Amino acid sequence: MERVGFVGLGTMGAAMAGHLGRAGYPLTVWNRTPGRAKDLAAIGAREAATPAELGAASDVVFICVSDTPDVEAVLFGPAGVGEGLGRGGLVVDCSSISPSATRAFAARLAQAGIGYVDAPVSGGSEGAQKATLTIFAGGDDASLERARPLLEKLGSRITHFGPAGSGQAVKAVNQVMIAGVYLAVAEGLVLALKAGLDPEQVVTALGGGVAGSWILANRSGRMLANDYPLGFKTRLHLKDLGIALDLARELGVVLPQAGLAAQLENGLVARGYGDEDMSNLARPIRELSGLA
Amino acid sequence: MERVGFVGLGTMGAAMAGHLGRAGYPLTVWNRTPGRAKDLAAIGAREAATPAELGAASDVVFICVSDTPDVEAVLFGPAGVGEGLGRGGLVVDCSSISPSATRAFAARLAQAGIGYVDAPVSGGSEGAQKATLTIFAGGDDASLERARPLLEKLGSRITHFGPAGSGQAVKAVNQVMIAGVYLAVAEGLVLALKAGLDPEQVVTALGGGVAGSWILANRSGRMLANDYPLGFKTRLHLKDLGIALDLARELGVVLPQAGLAAQLENGLVARGYGDEDMSNLARPIRELSGLA
């Protein structure tokens, strides 16, 4: 059975590592901030002192950290995974990071005989806890097939989109689309409120037609109440949207709506709303329209 | 049985008038451009020489024309419906026009003892032909209940939102929301194409999650093929979006995304793409991103 290492024990990572440990994989964990490994120790996980030590004790290393520089530091920094994981190892990165950096990381590890799968996820903390994540995977076929039984412990819908970086590109597409739909729903609802309509009647009437969306069905209530419990944090979506806009610049793609959403989210994060659910994109539309 | 008049025999109106005539209502019709009444004559409809003559022969007058000034001319212009329809009559306007003008029309007709229902529809020519339209209704309760059995010949989902103008306001909200979702899907798909992803695989993977929408499920194929058969014409959506943006200005509502969509549609109409389906909002995103 593969020996698994797991780097990054935040809300997502801790839940995902737990599923792998409980499935019987020998598990070593590491987190930048100490004190996150206690629950996992209770199911038999060993805590490594450094990513390098974790790498040396593992066949497959999962990473679930915040952003591109964090993945780079974990892999290639001092005492990084790359100093410990040997030829024949596999890295599975579940973080949401830059597709082009992902290609570079995969190429660099390939020179050391280490495989790479990018496997960013969708479904939030609830999906991580229930192991119902949607997983967007990139990498060569052999690496993907090796990772698949482990990924199946984390989510039910795993799609392989192509070479390394493909999974991250799909995640970027997802974040671009949801930004626009959140904004579309927010604008429509604020217009409905100011027009004196019963907004819940509007949501019901429009939800079954061309305007129907998951976000209209599931997030309009928060926008109407102007109250945004989690969910998915605005500051994390803004980070992901930054990755998507960087990708768009690299590829020469023009995304006016995603750019607009990023600007509005800049304002939300700066004003201290970054830890709210991202349905708070309705906040600036409400405020600019004179709704408290 | 109510004697019904029907003004406006375009693709939508002709189909709707046909349902009313076949349901047994004595039917008089009028169209600004002659020659549209032949099919309806075959089911027993009489063609009036003017809207005034149609009004004099009717208890309930339906209107299904293009824009606010057209409804105003039909009702209050020379030889208009108002010159023929007597006290106790009812006007049902199925056009998509200005909510505030609708309130003014209703008030003016009320002074003549004539009721008014605004009943803009959603569902397109297919919905009109199959009598499966979604109907957004505004007006006082008595007028609405009088119109309801006739509206039930045209659509299955009829929602009464409030006083005259409410139906038009809901239609405006709908057009704002769909503008944003079309643009969101277009931006995401163009990014996917330029990133070298298999776009149909992306549509499938994202469609079941937070990014899911009717438009992603049903209109992404057109955007990927860059081919836009009807559907719903861009120039009509732009007309409706103009009404929504006027309403927003009246109410002090800020709609940055709807404004952006309207600007892009201005360009599409000016370049001769106004008769395509409005999923051609993907055209400018494709072109600006170097996709033919």
Based on the fold, state whether residues B249 and B150 are members of the same structural domain.
no
Partner residue facing A173 (CB), from B191, B215, B247: B191
Based on the fold, state whether residues A262 and A182 are members of the same structural domain.
yes
Based on the fold, state whether residues A238 and A270 are members of the same structural domain.
yes
Q: Does B195 contact A188 at a Cβ distance shorter than 8 Å?
A: no
Burial B206-216 (b: 16+ CB within 10 A, else e): beebbbbbbbb
Chain A CB contacts of B159 under 8 Å are: 201, 204-205
Interface mutation target, options A136, A160, A161, A173, chain B, most CBs of B under 10 Å? A173
Based on the fold, state whether residues A138 and A263 are members of the same structural domain.
no
Chain B CB contacts of A252 under 8 Å are: 194, 289-290
Query: Coil, helix or strand for A49?
Result: coil
CATH code for position A148: 3.40.50.720
- For residue A141, with 0-12 CB atoms within 10 Å meaning exposed, 13-18 middle and 19 or more buried, which class applies? exposed
**Would you give the DSSP letter of residue A279?**
G
Based on the fold, state whether residues B173 and B159 are members of the same structural domain.
no
Partner residue facing A177 (CB), from B198, B211, B288: B211
Q: Look up tokens 């995974």; give the residue.
A: A81
Based on the fold, state whether residues B78 and B35 are members of the same structural domain.
yes
Over residues A117-154, the pLDDT tens digits come to 999 999 888 899 999 999 999 999 999 999 999 999 99
Query: Coil, helix or strand for A10?
Result: coil
Q: Does A197 contact B162 at a Cβ distance shorter than 8 Å?
A: yes
The structure tokens listed for A73 are 């530091």
Opening angle at CA B127, ends B143 and B280, nearest 5: 120
Instruction: Work out whether the CA dihedral A65, A67, A73, A76 comes out positive or negative.
Output: positive
Based on the fold, state whether residues A152 and A174 are members of the same structural domain.
no
In one-letter notation, the amino acid at residue B42 is A
Of A160, A94, A100, residue with least CA distance to A122: A94
The 3-class secondary structure across B150-194, one letter per residue, is HHCCCEEEEEEEECCCHHHHHHHHHHHHHHHHHHHHHHHHHHHHH
* Ranges of chain A with pLDDT below 50: none
Rounded distance between C-alpha atoms, residue B290 and residue B274, angstroms: 22
| B63, B92 contact by CB (below 8 A) | yes
Partner residue facing B190 (CB), from A202, A253, A288: A253
Q: Does A290 contact B192 at a Cβ distance shorter than 8 Å?
A: no
Q: Does B213 contact A209 at a Cβ distance shorter than 8 Å?
A: no
Interface mutation target, options B182, B198, B213, B283, chain A, most CBs of A under 10 Å? B213
**Nearest residue of chain B to residue A133 (CA atoms):** B209
The Cα of A212 is separated from the nearest Cα of chain B by a number of Å equal to 6
Partner residue facing B170 (CB), from A161, A202, A260: A202
Chain A CB contacts of B290 under 8 Å are: 252
Over residues A93-108, the pLDDT tens digits come to 999 999 999 999 999 9
| B214, A210 contact by CB (below 8 A) | yes
Query: Coil, helix or strand for B200?
Result: helix
**Nearest residue of chain B to residue A207 (CA atoms):** B214
Rounded distance between C-alpha atoms, residue A133 and residue A267, angstroms: 30
pTM listed for this prediction: 0.95
Based on the fold, state whether residues B125 and B270 are members of the same structural domain.
no
In one-letter notation, the amino acid at residue A48 is A
Rounded distance between C-alpha atoms, residue B174 and residue B179, angstroms: 9
What are the residue ranges of helices labelled H in chain A?
11-22, 38-41, 51-56, 68-76, 99-111, 124-130, 141-151, 166-194, 199-207, 214-225, 234-251, 256-270, 282-288
* Ranges of chain B with pLDDT below 50: none
Rounded distance between C-alpha atoms, residue A135 and residue A151, angstroms: 8
Chain B CB contacts of A172 under 8 Å are: 191, 195
**Nearest residue of chain B to residue A157 (CA atoms):** B205
β B46-47/B27-30 pair status: parallel
In one-letter notation, the amino acid at residue B285 is I
Partner residue facing A290 (CB), from B172, B188, B252: B252
Q: What would the DSSP string read from start to end of A117-141?
A: EE--EESHHHHHHHT-EEEEEES-H
Domain boundary (A138, A163, A188) is at A163
Q: Look up tokens 């049903």; give the residue.
A: B218
**Nearest residue of chain B to residue A246 (CA atoms):** B191
Chain B CB contacts of A198 under 8 Å are: 161-162
Query: B64: domain range?
Result: 4-163
Burial B253-278 (b: 16+ CB within 10 A, else e): bbbbbbbbbbebbeebbeeebbebbb
Based on the fold, state whether residues B233 and B145 are members of the same structural domain.
no
**Nearest residue of chain B to residue A278 (CA atoms):** B210
Rounded distance between C-alpha atoms, residue B58 and residue B68, angstroms: 22
The Cα of A64 is separated from the nearest Cα of chain B by a number of Å equal to 21
β B60-63/B121-122 pair status: unpaired
Q: Does B188 contact A174 at a Cβ distance shorter than 8 Å?
A: yes
Quote the crossing angle between the two packed helices A256-270 and A166-194, to the nearest 10°.
80
- Distances, alpha carbon B137 to alpha carbons A193, A237, B93, B147, in Å: 17, 38, 9, 10
> Cα torsion for B223, B226, B229, B233, to the nearest 10°?
70
Chain B CB contacts of A190 under 8 Å are: 253, 255
Q: Does B180 contact A179 at a Cβ distance shorter than 8 Å?
A: no
User: Quick one: pLDDT at residue A124?
Assistant: 85
**Nearest residue of chain A to residue B177 (CA atoms):** A184
| A65, A46 contact by CB (below 8 A) | no
ipTM of the shown complex: 0.96
Instruction: Work out whether the CA dihedral B26, B31, B37, B40 comes out positive or negative.
Output: negative
In one-letter notation, the amino acid at residue A248 is A
Rounded distance between C-alpha atoms, residue A264 and residue B110, angstroms: 45
Domain boundary (A163, A197, A218) is at A163
Query: Coil, helix or strand for A42?
Result: coil
Residues of B with catalytic roles? 171
Q: Does A194 contact B253 at a Cβ distance shorter than 8 Å?
A: yes
Domain boundary (A163, A181, A216) is at A163
At B6, which helix (H) or strand (E)?
A: strand B4-7
Based on the fold, state whether residues B21 and B149 are members of the same structural domain.
yes
Q: Centre a 10 Å sphere on the Cβ of residue B136 and count the other Cβ atoms it contains.
A: 29
Interface mutation target, options A253, A264, A287, chain B, most CBs of B under 10 Å? A253
Length of chain A equals: 292
CA atoms within 13 A on the CB side of B213: 32
User: Quick one: pLDDT at residue B263?
Assistant: 98
Based on the fold, state whether residues A138 and A187 are members of the same structural domain.
no
User: Quick one: pLDDT at residue B12?
Assistant: 95
Residues of A with catalytic roles? 171
| A66, A137 contact by CB (below 8 A) | no
CATH code for position B219: 1.10.1040.10
Count of the separate structural domains present in chain B: 2
Of B158, B214, B216, B211, residue with least CA distance to B186: B216
Rounded distance between C-alpha atoms, residue A45 and residue A132, angstroms: 22
Q: Does A255 contact B208 at a Cβ distance shorter than 8 Å?
A: no
The Cα of B3 is separated from the nearest Cα of chain A by a number of Å equal to 30
Based on the fold, state whether residues A98 and A230 are members of the same structural domain.
no
Chain A CB contacts of B127 under 8 Å are: none
User: Quick one: pLDDT at residue A125?
Assistant: 86
Q: Does A169 contact B253 at a Cβ distance shorter than 8 Å?
A: no
Partner residue facing B172 (CB), from A161, A172, A191: A191
Of B190, B255, B250, B195, residue with least CA distance to B226: B190
**Nearest residue of chain A to residue B204 (CA atoms):** A159
Chain B CB contacts of A212 under 8 Å are: 213-214
The structure tokens listed for B129 are 């032909």
Of A278, A97, A254, residue with least CA distance to A172: A97
